[in-house]
Structure 1
Amino acid sequence: MGQNQKAIALLCGTINYDNHQDNPCVPESALQLAYSHQDQLGVAAALGSLGDAYRLRGKYDLAINYLEESLTIAQEIDHLPYQSSALNSLGNAYSSKAQLSYRRANSAEKIGYTRKALALEAKAKNNDSEALKYFQKSLDIAITQNDQSGQIRARLNEIPLYYRLSESSASVMKWQKEWQKAYSLLETLPDSQDKVYAAIELANLLQPIAPAHETSPWIRCYQPKLEPQATALLAQAVRIAQRINDHRSQSFALGELGHIYECRDQYTKALELSQQARLAAEQNLLAKDSLYLWEWQTARIFKEQGKVTEAIGAYENAIATLETIRSDILTASRDVQFDFLDTVNPIYRQLVALRLEGDQTFLKSALPDVRTQNINIVLKTIDGLKLAELQDYFGNDCVLAAVNPARVDLVSTRTAVISTIILKDRTAVILSLPNGEKQLEWIDSDRESIRQDINQFRRELESFFEPYNSQQAQKIYNWLIRPFANQLEQAQIETLVFINDGILRTVPMAALHDGEKFLVERYAIATTPTLTLTEPKPLTPRSWRALVLGLTKEAIVDGREFEALSNVSTEVKAVTQTIPESKQLLDEEFTRDRLQQELGATVYPIIHIATHGEFGTEPEDTFLVTGENDQLTIDELDRVIRSVASTTEPVELISLTACRTATGDDRAALGLAGVAVQAGARSALASLWFINDQTTAQIAAQFYQGLRQSNLNKAQALRAAQIALLEAGGQYARPAYWAPYLVIGNWF
């Protein structure tokens, strides 16, 4: 469990993420005990600590509520140190909110949502402005108290905001002035851990200005003219850390100093400092969150020196360390999570690239068994990355424990798995056959070219009116399927399971085309984020009971309008007729409370939800619209399901038939890919884009009929429903109507 989770449990007695809950803490908690003893100082301290802990969990609004309470009490009792601390924490909370909005704005801009991007950026700047006010108030108190440590803390917190809010040369000058003041304050501090980290932070602030949506300093190099000053600060940090015998801060100082030499291409010195940083981190169990960084740095240096074997070993050490601290660094702090794309994702991908590309002579001359073993290691590495990606997205480590670490046995199922791995300049495509045979092929296009091709494919595919052109569908088919066509035929494969990477998750594989037929006409198709999260169990007779929820009326949620779904009543009727043992909750009856009540009263192996659903870049943008004009996030749905499923069988299938993910938003598609796991279900039926048409009812009804009456598995049942629509001809033969539906997770 992350340290902030433990803090919440101690202070509050329970972890509460429910903004609807008025009194989240249990009577015996530290906070409630302070209240009962009328210990105002204790209450202020507990509220402040609780606010900080919730900020680190990414629950910024909850954090702000607690911190504002703490500040109010500190003001009432005129306790200036607590006021300064609460103000500083409020600044951090608003700064973290801003960082999230900048990231969401960047993602919206990348997929063409310009208006949304501008609104999010404006929101981010407002939050940054609020943060700056709080930091300045904290600084004022620190100055009146002659608190040098508080002053440098406030100034260091302010400086990145001047970066992000800068619109003129005056703002840049303000940043430089604040940096110089913080630097002068550094010399007034006694040797301490705080002084070490302040020196490191001052050095980091000399790095080139990063885009507002990024936070990680680990991959940026210093400008040559500022490098000597950064080197001096880091060397000073090392000396202080050594004098006070603080291994954790010493590890960071040594590691970052090593990075400077890495940037200079002075690899011998860089390696020496990186190894010293590793040794320092190993002296302190709490320093493991830095250990993986220096193992990664060591791997990069070995790679640049041409020492492939040593580099692979160092990368594997970094990943092994990550695996041991995953619950802390990927779920403990949303601020840390912002660094995921910069400091976790590359470690896995660089190792995979090295194994697949690093020693071509070895790979070409190796025996087939050796090549297969190497590919199996690569697939295992990527499985680890997929788990880490989902944990980063949903922020929930416990839910995403692998249910099948050995991966699914495909021998008796006539199922092949196609895995894609997007690297910098090309993409690996790996076929896994039932007999264990593996085949590796390459897409010789860089990441951006692939993105453009897939976005064009999605735009053309989603058109309900323009003549359909299969050219892009054939191009992607040639990437992913054609190289394996003979092997698939010889193995008599009937089902293809895709474990796709990045932007490839947004591709509806059913619509790929070989020049004669769509892929769905030849194979049943499923997708899963990783086989280690797939529990391959077929539906049983006991599974035929469904809770069917739907929204037919227009809704307004947070000022945003959602159109009426005129065909949902038809869909709900079709599902309940196919599964007579069903209960329906329509419109006003579809509420969070009624959902929990029904699931608590009756076991429903199938949950069918026909309402607006969106999958966005962040979990905050991923939700379903309920009948009470409210958002039900996937995280909340998971908590509802798991709160009543502890003594029952898990949900077999959750169907979300009116979902949409934006074209080009591969992170949103990651959320869709992980929906079954996060919602506490073995599998999901979901859509990549929204269709307000009677065809959704037809697809749903025929899907369930295929499962129940024709004894098909889920992938086969969806294929039958899609082909029925395709063969009906007319407008419904367009892929726009039948292609977006996916079986995710357990396809049996």
Structure 2
Amino acid sequence: MRKVIQFSLLNLGKLYRQNYKVLRLLFYFLMALLCSLNTPIMAAVPGVKPSSQSIINQVASPDALLQQGKLLYDAGRFAEAVEILQQAVKAYQNQGDNLALAATLGNLSLAYQQIGNWTQAQQVISQSLNLLKKSANQQNSLMFAQMLDIQGRWQISTGQAEAALITWQQAEKIYTQLNNQHGIVKSLINQSQAWRSQGAYRRAKEILKEVDKKLQLQPDSIAKAVQLRSLGDILLAMGDGEKSQTLLQQSLNIAKNLQSSADIGASYLSLGNNYRTQQKKAQAIADYQNAVEISPFPLTKVQAQLNHLSLLIENGELTAATTLVPGIQSRLAQLPNSRGSIYATINLAQSLNKLVKNADAYPSISYQDIAPLLVKAIAQSRSLGDRQTEAYAVLSLGNLYEQTQQTQEALKLTQQALVLAQTSNAPEIVYRVDWQLGRLLWAKNEIKNAIAAYDAAVDTLQLLRRDLVAVNQNVQFNFRDSVEPVYRESVELLLQSQSKEPDETTLDKARQRIEALQLAELDNFFREACISGQNVPLDKIVDQDNPHTAILYPIILKNQIQVIAKIPKTPLKHYSKAISETEVNQVIAEMRRSLVNPAATNTVKKRSQQVYNWLIAPIESELSAQQVNTLVFVLDGAFRNIPMASLYDGKKYLIEKYAIALSVGLQLLDPKPLLTQQIRALTAGLTDPPPGYNYFPRLPGIKSEFESIAQSGVTTTSIIDAQFTRPALETKVNTAPFNVVHLATHGQFSSRAEDTFILAADGPINVTQFDSLLRNRDESKPQPVELLVLSACQTAAGDNRAALGLAGTAVRAGARSTIASLWQIDDQSTAFFVGAFYKQLKEGKVTKAQALRNAQLQLLQHPNYNTPSFWSAYVLIGNWL
């Protein structure tokens, strides 16, 4: 996986003999490249603009060779840089200048890393460190720390995150001894990446907070501007768009004060990417345009224009997008050959490809016009000896052949790309190549080989799981387009691969793959690998502990619904319905719109009976024969947007026949029932929304809701209205003895973590903060949170994937079970429902799923609340026992 480039000081011995101004300028260059390791959208940093003439002329001395190598490296001509740096190494060896030799070996290691020669990269950085160990002084200590930075980069690039962490911690100690604040900050940022690569996101964020504090204390400088920008980019990758924006704005302000047009342009580019992630299109476009106008570097201008172009295409503004193309083509043609310019060429080809698919919008270009761009990119990659960019270019050309149905040519190119990607340590390209290979083999009806290719793609995605949001920023990455289809197509291929009914091994593999997709969706939602625990397989619970429960896995494919069912003590079953994904989504969308309208019961029944016939009818008799009383759904896609309780068989709703629960995977965390005699609830509620959120209505019935909980016999600790702040909730969470948390306040579920929250009196509590609020408690309290209830939440309007936020909330909170509403319900009916639920939970000696069902049935039987809009909104996620 490509990291931000690290290039050490060119000649430390020489620098100490030069004047302060030169030292400062080169130090800025060093900090610009060393400040961070892995950002999804790298900060465009100022550097030396190479000219071919200067490179040709500077060949007289070791110092000139080193400068020449730097210029070639800056230009992305890594193979040529290796040759020149090798000459510089020999020259410094002949002079006996060990300090300069050590620096040059470090630079040579970086160049080797860029061309994927990991063995040579490791050998030369080891040589550099060994040289520096022989003599100890302040100059050598600084150089030694800088070489450790490079060694750490090699380690993390080759999958040795733990070793990289130790290396960067060692570098930090040296920088601390030297009181080198810039070096300390650089090492800490690198350490955060190492922690993140090991899945320790909380620790990574703690380090980044420390970095932020240190940066705020530093005087303004170009180095500080670059570090702030890099830190902002990292936080954006980790899903903290708000804090990222603050840091990027600080970086921009410093660059403006110091009148550094290069850094101003780079900060505008990063801010544009930030606004784009936050779906603030107008601000993103404005900052992309600012970057184009201000930056002195052609590559930065092109990158900003390409991001602007892809944003317009993504939003369907194709006419506006076409006006950008000529300018991009013109600037791209003037760029010197480098890795950056090659990726920009591929990026343009892919955007043009999307425009070609809509011929009316851009009729003046065809596939035949795109191919030469990719052929050029391949040739340029080969001239640089850059196998990684060559792999991506060859893959893209193969995709072009695939689209024009030239399967044999596409296959040859794809196989060639696979070899290139595997030998250049680029897993983010490898999985795409395997995916493309699988599609092509499938088209040729080579099913066995196609399955193997898809399996390889999925395996690589699993290895990439922690870093999917931080893959090579030059590789266009969109979860919906580039990851989700791999899993879905794989499942479709598996289930269609056999002429007869799929065997149990195949069915089990298919459902595991859908679970992997769900986990990947949550990872993408949180921008980090979602939390896992000691889980028990659902099948074991069904077969041994809860033999009256069945599990259903409905899977939405392009032209059919596939359902895999686990019925107690029987092999997996499978059935399907030939229906397009488009029609499924239309039926569910209409059903969802009708569910929130109490007057639309007839439409609800009509659409919900369709869904019932798809999912339940084919297996209804077997459920009855096995005396199943509880259904657990592992829902896929649009099915998450509707409550399964509202499915209708023509006479009864599903809730009238079964208790119902949802699961986000095939395993359950600590599947134990809630002990009724020990139910203690922490209740928190907010009648009036805080300032800025007045579009949410008042909730005057909260006190009645809390009274109904107390009347059920549950011991409660309450904070309400002005008392309900985030600090107060956190204090209560960590001091009060309880195992149920009941939050009666407005909340919103969204497909974006940034827009998923609950409201407290002092503002929103974001879903990403649930981790510190509730999960931390598990580490200090013997009694975990068994049940989280969110009684006044709703899914975001117009977001057809908003239920992902509900699943994310359930996972992030760490509660064994979560009950939430998919839309906001009338206050009085909510109080009625809540009282009935807790009474069932306290006195009924039933499972959580059965308690929920009984409370919903009481609403259904109430003359004022008998329509699905009142009783079906509540869903149970997680442990149903």
**How would you bin the TM-score normalised by the shorter chain?**
0.7 to 0.9
Q: Match of 2:780, SS? A: coil
Give distance in 2, aligned partners of 1:668 and 1:378: 25
Moved more, 392-401 or 333-342: 333-342
1:441 aligned to which of 575, 578, 583: 575
**Alignment partner, residue 396 of structure 2:** 256
Check conservation: 1:505, 1:666, Cα contact below 8 A. Answer: no
Check conservation: 1:528, 1:534, Cα contact below 8 A. Answer: no
What is the deviation of 1:227? 3.3
**Alignment partner, residue 218 of structure 1:** none
Check conservation: 1:57, 1:333, Cα contact below 8 A. Answer: no
What is the deviation of 1:332? 6.8
Confirm whether residue 658 of structure 1 aligns to residue 792 of structure 2. yes
**Alignment partner, residue 756 of structure 2:** 622
Confirm whether residue 202 of structure 1 aligns to residue 348 of structure 2. yes
Check conservation: 1:418, 1:432, Cα contact below 8 A. Answer: yes
What is the deviation of 1:356? 1.5
Q: Match of 2:772, SS? A: helix
**Alignment partner, residue 726 of structure 2:** 592
1:184-195 mapped onto 2 (5 Å cutoff): 184-186=333-335, 189=336, 191-195=337-341
Q: 1:513 to 1:71 in 2, by over 3 A?
A: closer
1:130 aligned to which of 287, 292, 298: 287
Give distance in 1, aligned partners of 2:798 and 2:313: 29
1:532-681 mapped onto 2 (5 Å cutoff): 532-540=667-675, 543-553=678-688, 555-558=689-692, 560-628=694-762, 630-648=763-781, 649-661=783-795, 665-681=799-815
**Deviation per residue, 1:395-431 (Å, 9 max, x gap):** 3314256834675531131100111000111111222
Confirm whether residue 385 of structure 1 aligns to residue 517 of structure 2. yes
Q: 1:671 to 1:237 in 2, by over 3 A?
A: same
**Alignment partner, residue 637 of structure 2:** 502
**Alignment partner, residue 463 of structure 2:** 324
Check conservation: 2:683, 2:716, Cα contact below 8 A. Answer: yes
Q: Match of 1:428, SS? A: strand
What is the deviation of 1:522? 1.6
Q: 1:62 to 1:544 in 2, by over 3 A?
A: same
Give distance in 1, aligned partners of 2:207 and 2:489: 46
What is the deviation of 1:302? 0.4
Amino acid at match of 1:391: D
1:242-281 mapped onto 2 (5 Å cutoff): 242-281=382-421
Check conservation: 2:188, 2:207, Cα contact below 8 A. Answer: no
**Alignment partner, residue 615 of structure 2:** 480
> How many residues are paired up?
688
**Alignment partner, residue 593 of structure 2:** 459
Amino acid at match of 2:293: Q
Amino acid at match of 1:653: L
Confirm whether residue 290 of structure 1 aligns to residue 468 of structure 2. no
Amino acid at match of 1:194: G
Q: 1:551 to 1:162 in 2, by over 3 A?
A: closer
**Alignment partner, residue 178 of structure 1:** 327
Confirm whether residue 397 of structure 1 aligns to residue 546 of structure 2. no
**Alignment partner, residue 63 of structure 2:** none
2:372 aligned to which of 232, 250, 253: 232
Give distance in 2, aligned partners of 1:31 and 1:735: 50
Confirm whether residue 523 of structure 1 aligns to residue 558 of structure 2. no
Amino acid at match of 1:3: N
**Alignment partner, residue 142 of structure 2:** none
Amino acid at match of 1:236: K
Check conservation: 1:128, 1:165, Cα contact below 8 A. Answer: no
2:446 aligned to which of 286, 299, 307: 307
Q: 1:223 to 1:638 in 2, by over 3 A?
A: farther
Q: 1:199 to 1:593 in 2, by over 3 A?
A: same
Bigger radius of gyration, 1 or 2? Answer: 2
Check conservation: 2:225, 2:263, Cα contact below 8 A. Answer: no
Give distance in 2, aligned partners of 1:26 and 1:674: 24
Give distance in 1, aligned partners of 2:879 and 2:672: 7
Q: 1:639 to 1:4 in 2, by over 3 A?
A: farther
Amino acid at match of 2:430: L
**Alignment partner, residue 3 of structure 1:** 38
What is the deviation of 1:30? 5.9
**Deviation per residue, 1:640-695 (Å, 9 max, x gap):** 22233323343211001112225774411222234321222111111122112322
Give distance in 2, aligned partners of 1:27 and 1:335: 24
Confirm whether residue 736 of structure 1 aligns to residue 869 of structure 2. yes
Amino acid at match of 2:722: E
Confirm whether residue 44 of structure 1 aligns to residue 183 of structure 2. no
**Alignment partner, residue 33 of structure 2:** none
Confirm whether residue 356 of structure 1 aligns to residue 489 of structure 2. no
Give distance in 2, aligned partners of 1:358 and 1:324: 26
Q: 1:661 to 1:30 in 2, by over 3 A?
A: closer
Give distance in 2, aligned partners of 1:357 and 1:166: 34
Give distance in 1, aligned partners of 2:239 and 2:625: 51
What is the deviation of 1:246? 2.5
Q: 1:663 to 1:502 in 2, by over 3 A?
A: farther
What is the deviation of 1:496? 0.7
Q: Match of 2:354, SS? A: coil
Q: 1:482 to 1:643 in 2, by over 3 A?
A: same
Check conservation: 1:26, 1:32, Cα contact below 8 A. Answer: no
Check conservation: 1:207, 1:222, Cα contact below 8 A. Answer: no
Moved more, 298-307 or 434-443: 434-443
Q: 1:433 to 1:545 in 2, by over 3 A?
A: same
Q: Match of 1:272, SS? A: helix
| Structure 2 segments unaligned to the other structure (5+ residues) | 2-36, 41-164, 166-184, 197-204
1:392-431 mapped onto 2 (5 Å cutoff): 392-400=524-532, 403-404=535-536, 408-412=540-544, 413=546, 414-431=548-565
Give distance in 1, aligned partners of 2:292 and 2:776: 40
Amino acid at match of 1:501: D
Check conservation: 1:25, 1:31, Cα contact below 8 A. Answer: no
Moved more, 89-98 or 713-722: 89-98
Amino acid at match of 1:97: Y
Check conservation: 2:275, 2:281, Cα contact below 8 A. Answer: yes
What is the deviation of 1:535? 3.8
Check conservation: 2:309, 2:321, Cα contact below 8 A. Answer: no
Check conservation: 2:536, 2:667, Cα contact below 8 A. Answer: yes
**Alignment partner, residue 119 of structure 1:** none
Confirm whether residue 374 of structure 1 aligns to residue 490 of structure 2. no
Q: Match of 2:699, SS? A: coil
Q: 1:502 to 1:664 in 2, by over 3 A?
A: farther
1:92 aligned to which of 243, 266, 270: 270
What is the deviation of 1:225? 4.4
Give distance in 2, aligned partners of 1:542 and 1:395: 39
Amino acid at match of 1:689: W
| Structure 1 segments unaligned to the other structure (5+ residues) | 18-23, 102-122, 213-220, 365-369
Q: Give percent identity, aligned residues only.
A: 32
What is the deviation of 1:34? 6.4
1:709 aligned to which of 815, 818, 843: 843
**Deviation per residue, 1:349-388 (Å, 9 max, x gap):** 11111111244x2x24xxxxx6222111111111111111
Q: 1:87 to 1:543 in 2, by over 3 A?
A: farther
Q: 1:333 to 1:709 in 2, by over 3 A?
A: farther
1:92-171 mapped onto 2 (5 Å cutoff): 92-98=270-276, 100-101=278-279, 123-138=280-295, 142=296, 147-157=297-307, 159-160=309-310
Give distance in 2, aligned partners of 1:240 and 1:284: 16
CA RMSD of aligned residues (A): 3.4
Q: 1:656 to 1:149 in 2, by over 3 A?
A: closer
Q: 1:476 to 1:71 in 2, by over 3 A?
A: closer
Q: Match of 1:547, SS? A: strand
What is the deviation of 1:736? 2.2
